Amino acid sequence: MPSLLSMNGQTAVVFSQNLLRWFDTFKRALPWRVAYTPYAVWISEVMLQQTQMERGVAYFDRWMRRFPDIASVALADEDEIMKAWEGLGYYSRARNLHAAARMIVREMGGVFPSDPDRIRALPGIGEYSAGAIASVAFNLPVPAVDANVERIFSRLCDIDTPLKNAQTRRFIRDKVMELMPEGKARLFNQALMELGALVCSKKPDCARCPIPEFCEARRIGVQNERPAPGKKTEYSTLDVVTGLLCKDGKIFIQKRPEFGVWAGLWEFPGGCMEPGETPEEALLREFREETELAVTITGKIGVVRHSYTTCRVTLHGFFCTAPALERGTEQGAASGMEAGARSGEGPIILHAASSGKWVTPAELRDCAFPAGSRKLLDLVEKAGWDNALPGQSSSGGLSG
């Protein structure tokens, strides 16, 4: 049985031939593989980080219709970018992509760089992304080692140390370069990633593998025990409340600061429940702390659950009004708050947001929200806004 641990030139040739033959037959038809334009490859690589392929393709197609080239991304405002990204999560990816597009237009004449070091210097581009873009878009002989490739080599070489180990990562990177056939970096790197996605996945399908004779873990029967487990992720749980503050057929939204979690996204006022609080008590407290408003709860929207990287969130949503707003009282408003939120409409003083505004239900569709808030809005839209906004229904809200 040939071994990648003590390989020779012939071993590398047979390995790459078998792998590339399989890739030519079984590769998925993905839109960025049509012409391998640098812009399309770049967007796909950024989008597919932490995103399943089917979902990523749908977002990619919508993105390319809206932003067909680098210049269109650079010219867009941040709200447009965030709205196009809404639902993909990890929003720093979108902000970095936006910044990189502007950098390319400003400093590189609008042409995506081909040099791996210059690619690596773009905002949001790490070692893997730089290698993937350089090899797939420009066919340059550089490795692109993602989680799929790491998993494959943990089995091929029976690596019994966690993949996060720096020495292990260097070993895999070097092995990829040893095996890469001259002039075929684009196909070879994609073939490895495709093999990890379709065959050598978390539960390996060894019967479909094009290179089983090279797998040391399969030879000794431990392929299901590789990769070696690392530290188990610990998840926290959060109970969160939020309120749709309604007035004259509009809803108040506020924009998160340009730093921290969900930076730059829109949201409804609210926050985490404190020990011993009911959701209703938490909502009243959060509105006082964030807006200095005393609100009245008019109905419950419902409860949605959402998972983030290391957190499980239960979100309680309510409709509410503010008597002070209905009276039209005017007190000082925080600087930076948008005119629609402050002009003659009441004493909203922002303490947890960069700006705020009143919008119609239709206008909410153009604003980018975190996934939990968007799920809450889906509940409202299913029931119909006519039943939701105070003054338009005798119930004053939705039961949930």
**Structure confidence at residue 320 (pLDDT):** 96
Give percent above pLDDT 90 in the chain: 77
What mean pLDDT do residues 259-275 have? 90
pLDDT averaged over every residue in the chain: 90
The SS3 assignment for 304 reads strand
Report, in this order, helix, strand and coil percent for the chain, each rounded to 5. Answer: 45, 15, 40
**Structure confidence at residue 231 (pLDDT):** 78
**Structure confidence at residue 388 (pLDDT):** 66
Bigger pLDDT: 337 or 53?
53
In the predicted structure, residue 343 carries a pLDDT above the cut 60? no
What mean pLDDT do residues 131-155 have? 97
**Structure confidence at residue 168 (pLDDT):** 93
pLDDT grade for 267, boundaries at 50, 70 and 90: very high
Q: In the numeric block, which tokens belong to residue 113?
A: 């760089």
Q: Considering only 124-133, 183-192, 227-236, which range has the smallest mean pLDDT?
A: 227-236
What mean pLDDT do residues 143-162 have? 96
**Structure confidence at residue 303 (pLDDT):** 95
Q: Tell me the Cα Rg of the chain.
A: 26
Residue 383 φ/ψ, nearest 5 degrees? -80, -20
Q: For residue 345, what are the CA distances in angstroms to 295, 318, 383?
A: 14, 21, 28
pLDDT digits (tens, 9 = 90+) for 374-400: 999 999 998 888 766 654 433 333 333
Q: How far apart are CA 135 and CA 128, in angstroms?
A: 11
**Structure confidence at residue 327 (pLDDT):** 66
CB 356 within 8 A of CB 337: yes
pLDDT grade for 126, boundaries at 50, 70 and 90: very high
What mean pLDDT do residues 232-240 have? 87
Q: Quick check: is 45 catalytic?
A: yes
pLDDT digits (tens, 9 = 90+) for 52-110: 999 999 999 999 999 999 999 999 999 999 999 999 988 999 999 999 999 999 999 99
Bigger pLDDT: 10 or 198?
198
pTM listed for this prediction: 0.82
**Structure confidence at residue 241 (pLDDT):** 97
In the predicted structure, residue 153 carries a pLDDT above the cut 50? yes
In the predicted structure, residue 336 carries a pLDDT above the cut 90? no
In the predicted structure, residue 220 carries a pLDDT above the cut 80? yes
What mean pLDDT do residues 340-363 have? 77
CB 265 within 8 A of CB 370: yes
Residue 322 φ/ψ, nearest 5 degrees? -130, 115
Find the catalytic residue in 45, 150, 267, 286.
45
In the predicted structure, residue 113 carries a pLDDT above the cut 50? yes
156 contacts: CB under 8 Å, gap ≥ 6:
4, 211, 214, 215, 216, 217
What mean pLDDT do residues 143-148 have? 96
Q: In the numeric block, which tokens belong to residue 184?
A: 């075929």
Comparing CA positions, the residue from 296, 297, 290 lying closest to residue 356 is 290
Give percent above pLDDT 70 in the chain: 91
